[in-house]
Structure 1
Amino acid sequence: MRSLVGPVPEPAERASSALRRCPRATLTFGSATPTVALVHQSPGTADLSLVIPIADAASIGFGGVTARLEVLDEIVGGVAQGRCRRIVVVEGRVEQTGTRAQRITAADIARDLPDSALLGVGSDSALVRFRADKIVLADDDGVTDIAPDDLATSGPDPFTDLEGHWLDHLNDPRCQVVPRIALRVCRCLPAVRPLLIGIDRAGVDIELVDREGRIRRERLPFAEACTGVAELGTQLRLLAGGARYPQDRAALRP
């Protein structure tokens, strides 16, 4: 993935992350609207592999059919579980391959994205190919059209698979990191505990409830973009007003 530095990941990266998480998604073609259990983006392309019920896949004719994929990027992990942050809509053509080819592809995908949904491919579910022609991202920044080439040359955030675990930990009432981060955008903490609703390589998204009961979201960028877990921990610690290094390491530095 090309290096991107900025306060907010570009739209193509946000869309790619949402597709990989795939908390809730549906595929619409003809009169069928099956639930999608998994979305996998083929590296270097805008082609997607989707796991759908085998009964619905049977209605995909030879040569494929025009389809529309809608992914609701819901928060996974923590007390904000289930809240929708953004919507990704992809229009294109869905195609089905033979059962043997599906199982081979599923094994290849499992090396990059292990998921129990792949276990039923060829029996209860089918792995279909979705060729994207048009991608639209809707989030707090508005509605953005994304070119398939941009999606192909971007990729998901490096912390996409771990985000839910971080949100679980940091939103725990016993953890004081989120309240300390919230003090950067409000003078005193509101009665309702602030929530961390997003983490990526460039920063965090936090949700606050003001005294009038209105919900607002704030974006807090990191001082430096992160590529690894250790760097992410450092940037979170800095946002919370801590030192760059943990206390025991800081004491050892000259």
Structure 2
Amino acid sequence: MKLVKKIVLGFFIYLVFLVVLFPASMAVKLAPIPANIVISGVSGTVWSGSIDMLSVKKRQVELIHWDLSIASLLTGAIKADISIGTRSSAVNGKAVVAYSFGGLDVSGLRFEAPSNFLLGNTRLPFKTKINGDVSALVDTFGQGLPWCEQLVGKLFLNKVKVTNQFGNYPLGDIALGLSCIDGNVQLATDEKLNGLGLDGTIVLADNKMMQVNAKIREVNTQPDDLKKALGFLGKKDSQGYYPITYQGRLPI
């Protein structure tokens, strides 16, 4: 019996080392990767490795590194520290990502990218083009239905400029709070977090539905074309706010 236990223990240790030392490049070759994903420069092991470049639908990310936690497997989860690029890279970030039977959990996320990376080739209404940078800081995110169970974070839109067939709108910097409301993702801002006189929320619901419930008033820091366009939103209330309401599918 003692010999059998030693054999079983030895075989278990062998399997652990086999997994820990299994080359990441071999794992990528064996994985059923979709044709629209291109991966190059894979090194290290499945436990601790890196990818020089990953491209998804012409969106390119460089210098991806991961470290998996062996201890997390004892709790039935896969947990990893992941980093993308460096602080000087156009697209960069880091997070602790965990996946279990309960779904995806993310903590300590920091992500920065230009708007054209996020939008890709998406065609926006009215020939709209958006320039600027996006930064996200997420303390905690827990997957739920339809989107989340918990979410605490902030989203920053930096040096945003919107142009379309109606005019030019240098919107500047906009900060939004991120939270989870009844399973939906909510983005909220007020006049203290932007220079647009804007106050309200955007809710991302099931089936990529978006609900906007906001109001805006004329302030000195607004671009001139925006001031001229406020009247098209409807009648302003007694406090000088124009309503902004919308419900429909996300344009991406």
TM-score with structure 2 setting the length: 0.26
Q: Report which of the two has the higher share of strand.
A: 2
- The higher relative CO (CA closer than 8 Å, separation ≥ 6) is in 1
TM-score with structure 1 setting the length: 0.26
Q: Report which of the two has the higher share of helix.
A: 1
